[in-house]
Amino acid sequence: MIKFLDLYSQYQTIKSQIDAAIEDVIVHSAYIGGERVKKFEKEFAAYIGAKHCIGVANGTDAIEIVLKAADFPKGSKIIVPANSFIATSEAVTNAGFEILFADVKDDYTIDVKSIEHLMDETVKAVICVHLYGLPCNMDEILKFCDNHSLALFEDSSQAHGAEYNGQKIGIFGSAATFSFYPGKNLGAFGDGGAITTDDDDLAKKMRMHANHGRIDKYDHEFEGRNSRLDALQAAVLSVKLPYLDGWLAKRDTIANFYLNELSATPLVLPKIDGNRKQAWHLFVVRTEKRETLKEFLTEQGIETGIHYPIALPKLKAYTHITQKTKNFFACNVDREILSLPIGEHLSIADVTFICEKIKQFFGVQ
């Protein structure tokens, strides 16, 4: 059986450090806030190359907090890609704003040009999603934001460690959000998230939003919420962070193996681009035979995933949105995409087996 994700195998490789870190939190019994959270925030900010890191409860809250702190007028529109996890668009609604969907390109990242004709003064920001671990085309997006006076936020939940022109993503917009959901490239032992920014005022405001609008223990400047990264998660993340680049290198090796081995098949393979260092959170291929290929691989003991089977505008949750998106690439490609297993739990023998089976399916050598 080849698993899509194997968190236990990763734990076994760092067990003694993780166990010691968890025991240390229990011994000190500082569960909310405290030194371990501060330490991880500092380490993650340094890793990304951002001035501030604010630990929050999860990656969805992170987006909502960024939007709340941005203080746009009520009813403002925020652009999000039509292919993402619902968290991206959900945060827009929950922060009190309206969703404006943009299509994605054939690399599955946002195509800002697709909604150029819908721009007006009610549109205030773009949330670009570095989907599957591939950085968006930041030059193009920054130029678009500049032309239309838009704020830019990065949903980097799938892309810890990815780089654009040699620069880690997470510093291109005015703020970037990360998820440490266990299955992410850098995952906690539960929910967790973070926001990075270089903006001192925004950082302060977002930290207050995440902690009841506090200026002092029982002094609150405004109503915020409770969305904090807890010390157990921070301690686990501090142990894992130094391993991240090694894990990403392993993902890169597997991705390159797939790209080579599968080049003779009819599969549409992920686009690679010298300016964009992939974090390979997911390895997504495309075929009209998606359903039968998925079934065949399951029979061979190979787990696969679909990210995502229903494009955001087509979800029941969004039937009230009148924007025309039927012709979006995102709204048609959702029936063709398939995520192959990728991660440091896989051996080259595993990946060789997967490639052999895919080639067998398509009848190619």
CA proximity to 198, closest of 178, 173, 162, 169? 173
Helices (H), 136-199: 138-147
Closest CB to ligand PLP among 244 and 355?
244
Which one of residues 37, 48, 58, 277 is an interface residue with ligand PLP (CB under 6 A)? Answer: 58
Closest CB to ligand PLP among 72 and 153?
153
DSSP state of 238: H
Which one of residues 76, 83, 88, 233 is an interface residue with ligand PLP (CB under 6 A)? Answer: 88
Closest CB to ligand PLP among 136 and 338?
136
Closest CB to ligand PLP among 211 and 265?
211
Site size for ligand PLP, by CB under 6 A? 15
Closest CB to ligand PLP among 58 and 304?
58
Closest CB to ligand PLP among 187 and 224?
187
Decide: is 155 part of the binding site for ligand PLP (CB under 6 A): yes
∠ CA 231-66-241 to the nearest 5 degrees?
A: 40
Which token pair is 60?
Answer: 């969805």
Closest CB to ligand PLP among 37 and 129?
129
Which one of residues 76, 89, 109, 158 is an interface residue with ligand PLP (CB under 6 A)? Answer: 158
Torsion of CA 43, 161, 183, 303, to 10 degrees: -160
At a CB cut-off of 8 Å and minimum separation 6, what does 296 contact?
357, 361
The stretch among 43-51, 85-93, 164-172, 211-219 that binds ligand PLP (CB under 6 A) is 85-93
Q: How far is the CB of 24 from ligand PLP (least distance, A)?
A: 24
* Helix (H/G/I), strand (E/B), else coil: 13: helix
Question: Hey, which residues between 168 and 207 contact ligand PLP (CB under 6 A)?
Answer: 179, 181, 191, 193
Q: How far is the CB of 58 from ligand PLP (least distance, A)?
A: 4
* Helix (H/G/I), strand (E/B), else coil: 98: strand
* Helix pair angle (290-299, 348-362), 10° resolution: 130
Closest CB to ligand PLP among 107 and 155?
155
Cis link prior to 308 (omega < 30° from 0)?
Answer: yes
Q: How far is the CB of 349 from ligand PLP (least distance, A)?
A: 29
Cβ neighbours of 286 (radius 10 Å): 17
- CA quadruple 220, 225, 231, 235: dihedral sign: negative
Which one of residues 37, 79, 87, 194 is an interface residue with ligand PLP (CB under 6 A)? Answer: 87
Cβ neighbours of 211 (radius 10 Å): 19
Strands 52-56 and 193-197: what pairing?
antiparallel
The stretch among 134-142, 152-160, 243-251, 265-273 that binds ligand PLP (CB under 6 A) is 152-160
What is the Cα–Cα distance from 235 to 37, expressed in whole angstroms?
A: 7
Residue 61 CA, distance from chain mean position: 13
∠ CA 334-94-164 to the nearest 5 degrees?
A: 55
Which one of residues 109, 137, 157, 197 is an interface residue with ligand PLP (CB under 6 A)? Answer: 157
Q: How far is the CB of 292 from ligand PLP (least distance, A)?
A: 27
The stretch among 24-32, 38-46, 138-146, 153-161 that binds ligand PLP (CB under 6 A) is 153-161
What is the Cα–Cα distance from 33 to 210, expressed in whole angstroms?
A: 12
| Residue window 213-242: x/- pattern of binding to ligand PLP, with contact defined by CB under 6 A | ------------------------------
Q: Nearest residue to ligand PLP, using CB? A: 59
Closest CB to ligand PLP among 155 and 344?
155
Question: Hey, which residues between 27 and 56 contact ligand PLP (CB under 6 A)?
Answer: none
Which token pair is 228?
Answer: 């904090």
What is the Cα–Cα distance from 185 to 359, expressed in whole angstroms?
A: 28
| Contact positions vs ligand PLP (CB under 6 A) | 58-60, 84-85, 87-88, 129, 155, 157-158, 179, 181, 191, 193
